[in-house]
Amino acid sequence: MAERRESLRAELAQLLQGRSRFVWEVGCGHGHFLTGFADAHPEAFCIGVDIIEDRILRGERKRRRAELDNLHFMRAEATMFLEQVPEGVLFESVFILFPDPWPKKRHHKNRIMQAGFLSDVAKRCAPGAALHFRTDYAPYFEAATEVVRAHPDWRLSPETPWPFELETVFQSRAEAYQSMIAVRR
Ligand SMILES: C[S@@+](CC[C@H](N)C(=O)[O-])C[C@H]1O[C@@H](n2cnc3c(N)ncnc32)[C@H](O)[C@@H]1O
């Protein structure tokens, strides 16, 4: 684990050398969304992370086909990735699209949208930076909204429009979904 942390730290330090901001997608799956986003926003530097190697390889293939040099995919666990972002580098924005819902109560602790995670992300965000959350699992949407509402570093921003639409794999399978934008205070 210590070895993985160190290699992630080194990889990120190199990738982000000379950069002060980037767009982060957590649990990027096959990379559809971020590839489209990076293509439409050449000025943004984008990194997608997922814990499943095969999904990262698929994302990488999309990146190569699209010839995008402002996009990277990395196999990493989200909280470990967050810990290894170099000092002084901030998130321009964050996307969490159709995260694993962990429906059983005893598994809720595995959900990514927790107060501690939001505190750690907030340390890496300038005021006004937005975290975009979308899910098709209504109880998770309610719980995540509540966590944001109670959090001192974030405010819900229903007036902010969703910045970019591109259907993800899980979105294409969903009958309905809900979106929430949290803005760093
Ligand atoms: C339900 S899928 C959604 C994938 C994609 N966002 C979409 O909408 O098609 C959730 C993804 O999050 C990844 N994931 C789950 N927990 C993670 C974690 N702690 N860190 C990074 N990725 C994670 C999973 O491997 C999976 O690819």
Q: What is the pLDDT of residues 108-153, one digit of tens each?
A: 999 999 999 999 999 999 999 999 999 999 999 999 999 999 999 9
Question: Is the full-model pTM beyond 0.95?
Answer: yes
pLDDT for 20-45, tens place per residue?
A: 999 999 999 999 999 999 999 999 99
Percent of the chain with pLDDT over 70: 100
| Domain 2-184 fold | Rossmann fold (3.40.50)
Active-site positions?
A: 100
pLDDT number for residue 117: 98
* 154 contacts 182 by C-beta, under 8 angstroms: yes
Closest ligand 1 atom to Cα of 27: 12
Of 113, 123, 120, the residue nearest 156 (C-alpha): 113
Q: What is the pLDDT of residues 70-88, one digit of tens each?
A: 999 999 999 999 999 999 9
Q: Report the pLDDT averaged over residues 163-178.
A: 97
Ligand 1 contact via 171 beta carbon (within 6 Å)? yes
Q: Is 133 in the pocket of ligand 1 (CB under 6 A)?
A: no
Q: At what angle do helices 53-66 and 32-40 cross, to 10 degrees?
A: 30
pLDDT at 25: 98
Q: Is 74 near ligand 1, meaning CB less than 6 Å away? A: no
pLDDT at 1: 83
How far does residue 132's CA lie from ligand 1's centre (Å)?
A: 14
Residues 45-63 pLDDT 10s: 999 999 999 999 999 999 9
Q: Are 49 and 74 in contact (CB under 8 A)?
A: yes
Q: Is the CB of 25 under 6 A from ligand 1?
A: no
By alpha-carbon position, which residue is closest to atom 14 of ligand 1? 27
Element spanning 180, H or E:
strand 178-184
